[in-house]
Amino acid sequence: MGMRAGETGGRSGTKGGSSGVTRRRALWIGGGAVAAGAAALAGRDELAHWWWRLPGHDKPRTPGAVDHPGAQWVEASPENYRRADRPADYEIDRVVVHVVQGSFATALEVFQDPDHEAAAHYVVRKDGHIAQMIRELDVAFHAGNRGYNERSVGIEHEGFVDRPESFTAAMYASSARLTAEICRRYGFPADREHIVGHVEVPGTDHTDPGPHWDWDRYLRLVRAELRKPVRPKRHKPARES
C-alpha cells in the first residue's frame, strides 16, 4: 500500500526526527529542479524553432521560386506541410525516397488535396521531369514520423513498388542529381544512413521504395554527381546609376 509523503516511518537525513528536509522531500525538490531545468531547455529549444515567426525574421519567399533548378513549381495544399525556416530551426540531414504507387499526375493531385494530410517536397516523373510542391524551408508531412519530417527532404517517384519497369534510367539520373544537390546544400554524406527509403523510417507502415529500387545504382549516381565540379554562379554586373 502506498503512503502519502510524510507518512514514512522516520525522516531520513535529520537527527532524532527533528524538523528539516526529509530525504523524500529532498529527492522531490531535486527531481522537481531537474524537471524544471529540462522543461526550460525544451522551451528554449522550441523557441529556437519558432523565433523566425516574429515580424521581420521570416525568410523572403518568392512565389513560384524553386530550390532545384529546372523543377516545375506545383504548390501542395498548406494542410499537407508546416511552414518553417529550415535549416535555421531544424537541421536537414536526410533524404527520404518514396514511390507514389501511381502516376506523376496522381501524386500532384493528392498532394494538392487538403484532406490527404501528406505531401513530399518533390515528385519525379519517369522521364526525369521534377515537380517541386513544398519548399525545402518547410516541413513536409511525408515520412509518418515527426522527427524525420523535420530533418528530411522527401522525394516521390512515379510508379509502383512491384513493377521494376517503373524505375527508368532517366528517373534515376534526375533523382540522383536532385539528391546530390540536397546533400551538397546541407552538408551531409551520400550514404545509406542519410539517404533512406520510406520503409526505413521508424514507426512507418509503408514498404516503398520496394525491392526493385536499385540502391547501389542510385548511390553510385548520386556520388558521381557530387564529384562533378560546382559551377560558380554568374553575377550580373550592377547597373550604373
User: What are the sequence ranges of the domains in the chain?
Assistant: 23-52, 72-227
User: Model pTM?
Assistant: 0.75
Beta bridge partners of 72: 131
The CATH number assigned to the domain with range 72-227 reads 3.40.80.10
Backbone angles phi, psi at 155, to 5 degrees: -120, 115
On the CB side of 133, CA atoms within 13 Å amount to 30
pLDDT at 61: 83
DSSP secondary structure, the chain, as one string: ----TT-SSS-TTSSTT-SS--HHHHHHHHHHHHHHHHHHHHHHHHHHHHGGGSTTTSPP--TT--SSTTPEE-PPPGGGEE---TTTSS---EEEE---SB-HHHHHHHHT-TTT----SEEE-TTS-EEE-S-TTSEES-SS-HHHHHHEEEEEESB-TT-GGGS-HHHHHHHHHHHHHHHHHHT--SSTTTEEEGGGSTT----TT-TTS-HHHHHHHHHHHHHSPPPPPPPPPPPP-
pLDDT at 232: 67
Q: What is the pLDDT along the chain (241 residues), one digit of tens a residue?
A: 332 222 223 322 333 333 343 333 333 334 444 444 444 444 555 555 555 555 445 677 888 999 999 999 999 999 999 999 999 999 999 999 999 999 999 999 999 999 999 999 999 999 999 999 999 999 999 999 999 999 999 999 999 999 999 999 999 999 999 999 999 999 999 999 999 999 999 999 999 999 999 999 999 999 999 999 987 655 444 343 3
Looking at this protein, which amino acid is placed at residue 184? R
Q: Contact 97/206 with Cβ under 8 angstroms?
A: no
Give the CA angle between residues 127, 130, 136 to the nearest 5°: 155
pLDDT at 59: 74
The alpha carbon of residue 162 and the mean position of all alpha carbons in its chain are separated, in whole angstroms, by 26
Cell triple for 192:
545509406
